[in-house]
Amino acid sequence: MNHIKTGVLWLAVLGIFFVGPVWATDDFEALSKSAQNIKSISADFIQEKHLKILAKPIVSEGRFYFKAPYSIRWEYLSPVKTLTLMNKRGAMVYILSEKKWVIDKTKSDTRGIVMDEINNWFTGHFQENPAFTPVYKPGVPPSVILTPKEDMKNFISRIVLKLSKTTGMVEQVEIMEGQGNRSKITFKNEKLNVDLPDSLFEKP
């Protein structure tokens, strides 16, 4: 009789472990699919850069536009104006010089990698990048924790993406770096599936 009780208890315990991930995976897949239904996004963002040496964060503000499958406009409005455009031809970084946008050739190559990653997040493809191990955490809000594998570990300890429970859209990104430094980007005034002209992603 005791053996049966013990067996039932173990089954219950194992059940919790098994049922948990299955439910979480279903939820994760549903959210990923929801995100894949997003065809365009227009949003403002606030970025807080926390450095160990500063008492308060450096706050940047900007605008973000996304159009599936592969177009992004990521624009910082303050305190330093910069602009990254990504379209089917690749990524291009612009800086303001004497009130005119000029191409920053030094950054355009590497920025393509970052923009690819952002594109993955906003299209619900959280498992696309082999450099990170994604773990889904259900909750309010649900989140995806991306832990870097070997190469990135020295610079990023983890990335936390907080998602909208209804649309699967990334609502907040937190990037934990070493030395107690971290960045938090919060999106607001989001508009989904609005009509965005292609020129927005091609010219400053």
Partner 1 sequence: MNSFACRLFNVAFLVLALTACATIPPYKPLIPESGVACPGIFPPKAFRVVQQIDMKSALIGKGVFIGAAKVEPQKNALHAVLMSAEGMVLFEAEYENGDIKIISAFPPLNNPAFAKGLMADVSFVLLKPAGGPVEHGVDGQGLSACRWAAAEADAVFETALMPDGAVRMRLYGRDRRVAKESLAWPPFDRGMPARISLKAFGPSNYTIELMLIEMEFVD
CA pair distance 144, 27, nearest whole angstrom = 12
Of 32 and 158, nearer to partner 1 (C-beta) is 158
Cα dihedral 32→161→187→89 (10° resolution): -70
Bridge-based pairing state of the strands 156-163 and 143-148: antiparallel
CA pair distance 106, 50, nearest whole angstrom = 25
The pattern of x and - marking residues 160 through 189 that bind partner 1 according to CB under 8 A reads -----------------xxx-x-x------
Q: Does 58 bind partner 1 (CB under 8 A)?
A: yes
- Gyration radius of the chain's alpha carbons: 20
Strand partners, 175: 159, 183
Of the candidates 54, 113, 131, 194, which one interacts with partner 1 according to CB under 8 A? 54
Shortest distance, CB of residue 124 to partner 1, whole angstroms?
23
Of the candidates 37, 106, 133, 193, which one interacts with partner 1 according to CB under 8 A? 106
Q: What is the DSSP letter of 178?
A: S
Stretch that binds partner 1, among 3-11, 63-71, 89-97, 166-174 (CB under 8 A): 89-97
Shortest distance, CB of residue 37 to partner 1, whole angstroms?
28
Strand partners, 42: 65, 191
Of 39 and 49, nearer to partner 1 (C-beta) is 49
CB distance 77 to 63 below 8 Å: yes
Residue 34 has phi, psi (to 5 degrees) of -60, -45
The pattern of x and - marking residues 124 through 163 that bind partner 1 according to CB under 8 A reads ------------------------------xx--------
Q: Does 11 bind partner 1 (CB under 8 A)?
A: no
CB distance 146 to 161 below 8 Å: yes
Task: Name the residues that contact partner 1, by CB under 8 A.
Answer: 47, 49, 51, 53-55, 58, 60, 76, 79-80, 82, 95-97, 102, 104-107, 154-155, 177-179, 181, 183
